[in-house]
Amino acid sequence: MMKARRVQVLLIVAVLSFLLIHFRLLPCSNNAPMEEKPSPVHILILSSWRSGSSFTGQIFSQHPSVFYLMEPAWHVWVTMYQNSAKVLHMAVRDLVRSVFLCDMSVFDAYMSSQKKKSDLFQWETSRALCSPPACDSFSRSDIITAGNCRTICGKYPFSKVEEACKTYSHVAIKEVRFFDLKVLYPLLTDPSLNLKIIHLVRDPRAVFRSRENTMADLKRDSNIVVGSQRTKGEMGPYNTMQIICKSHVEIYKAGSQAIPSFLKDRYLLVRYEDIVRDPLARAAQMYRFAELHFTPKLQKWVHNITHGRGQGAQAFDIGSRDALNVSQAWRKTLPFQKIEKVQNVCKDAMNLLGYQLVQSEEEQKNMSLDLLFAQS
């Protein structure tokens, strides 16, 4: 009798165990397999100051699937300005990783505990911070200008930054504070990230001319790049350009020559001049690389903003302009003596990236002479 009861109990336990395992393995609803949420795509636009990176950033910012921040590491450099760029690389990398993961608590180390969304550097250039849930005044599908956003959306709490970030399939950051691609290897091998790097470059002569027009705005950054002593005197601006050009050479070589396996298909070189010559084709190329759809609405916006009448007179202003003409302005305004000095310190970068040297003022001002060729 006892033996029969023991067998009966064991059978009941076995049946219950089977049912428990069976139902735990079943999908949650309607016997249909659950769809996994796709992993976010992380895009780093890696560039230097005055290289068309703000405009390129807007190509991503205006996409309704993208959460975008412009130069969040500005906060690191402002707080730790007494250090060199190399020393700050790790802090910048850690901040960028946290932003990619939508962990905005990283800003606690660099901003006031009473911070608002509007305390974030260039927050108004992010369409994602100008639309729900970060701001209720616009739709997520709207093309939103920084001026309109700044006026209406500044009052929201800083917590909205993280809340908004978590609702997007793509997180894009534009950053000018990396000078070595190898610093980013830990992010490229991080299993929690799906990182793609767009390396944006521009003709150093055009960069130099633009930097001259914004020298006061860039003084602190230049001091961090080369040291305050080397920014002084006639050669100061050229010392800065030399470091910038050298970094582009090293980044390009690391991203395209004898690359490690984890970098395969995750590095894209883009020249600003190629963008302004054929904006739709280059925007489409970057969107494909980033796994984004180039909508008709965005195509129209890209065309209009690059085919306006503006001359790009205001620094950091992303308004409609004649982008091709603006990109060539240095050829009409920069003294040839300065061009020679820039070419001297940036010769390797120019040869590698496809920028032809000019040998005379006549060549400089001969607009029928194409100074762009296929990079080696």
Whole-angstrom distance, CA of residue 166 vs CA of residue 144:
20
The pLDDT of residue 28 = 43
Whole-angstrom distance, CA of residue 93 vs CA of residue 123:
20
Residue 9 has pLDDT above 50, yes or no: no
For the ranges 33-37, 146-150, 289-293, the lowest mean pLDDT is seen at: 33-37
Across the chain, mean pLDDT equals 90
Residues 72-89, mean pLDDT to the nearest whole number: 97
The pLDDT of residue 236 = 87
Residue 4's pLDDT band (boundaries 50, 70, 90)? low
Q: How many CB atoms lie within 10 A of CB 259?
A: 15
Residue 11 has pLDDT above 80, yes or no: no
pLDDT in tens, 90-108: 999 999 999 999 999 999 9
Whole-angstrom distance, CA of residue 120 vs CA of residue 162:
12
Whole-angstrom distance, CA of residue 92 vs CA of residue 197:
16
pLDDT in tens, 254-279: 999 888 999 999 999 999 999 999 99
The pLDDT of residue 26 = 43
The pLDDT of residue 21 = 47
The domain made up of 41-202+255-324 has a fold known as Rossmann fold (3.40.50)
pLDDT in tens, 331-367: 999 999 999 999 999 999 999 999 999 999 999 999 9
Q: Assess whether the previous peptide bond of 133 is cis (omega < 30° from 0).
A: yes
Residue 29 has pLDDT above 50, yes or no: no
Q: Cα 104–107–111 angle (5° rounding)?
A: 140
Whole-angstrom distance, CA of residue 15 vs CA of residue 265:
51
For the ranges 128-137, 193-202, 227-236, 295-304, the lowest mean pLDDT is seen at: 227-236
Residue 13 has pLDDT above 50, yes or no: no
C-alpha distances out from residue 318 to 23, 50, 302, 325, Å: 56, 12, 12, 15
The pLDDT of residue 145 = 93
| Beta strands in the chain, from DSSP E residues, in sequence order | 41-46, 66-70, 170-175, 195-201, 267-271
The pLDDT of residue 227 = 87
Q: Cα 119–124–125 angle (5° rounding)?
A: 125
Whole-angstrom distance, CA of residue 353 vs CA of residue 348:
9
